[in-house]
Amino acid sequence: MVTPESAAQLKTLLNSLNGKHGILGCLLVGRDGSVVSSSLPAEVDISTIGALSATLFSNNDVSIQRMNRGNLIQMTLLTDQGILHFYEAAGHFLVVLTAKGQRINLEGLIRSVEEQGRSLEGMLS
């Protein structure tokens, strides 16, 4: 359960990633696809992205397990619109979207997401 105080902390944490490594914004999504918090611009349909992201991550996690490769922890997708990076954190998914046309330092992006993901885990546990 996210309290109003923790909701503000979550929002601050997500906002701190915006602009780093070309990041447009982030979503914190529950396993059911519900959006817990977002730092994406208002014109982005966060509900649809949240629901589809949860499905995408969960389906890939099942596939990884069936290949006997363990559990999916992170996933990066490159599209013609930018990067979507997913990080599993305390039963939630942190979904990071980069802005279109940005040059991205993927290693820096992954490192930043891991750092914030660990902070999220502490807040959500």
Q: What is the reported pTM?
A: 0.91
Beta bridge partners of residue 37, listed in sequence order = 28
Question: What are the structural domains, with CATH classification, of the chain?
Answer: 4-124 (3.30.450.30)
Q: What tokens were used for 17?
A: 């990633």
| pLDDT tens digits, one per residue of 47-97 | 999 999 999 999 999 999 999 999 999 999 999 999 999 999 989 999 999
12: number of Cβ within 10 Å? 11
Taking a C-beta distance cutoff of 8 angstroms, is the pair 14, 25 a contact? yes
Mean pLDDT of the chain, nearest integer: 92
pLDDT, tens digit, 9 for 90 and up, residues 5-15: 788 889 999 99
Give the other-Cβ count within 10 Å of 125's Cβ: 8
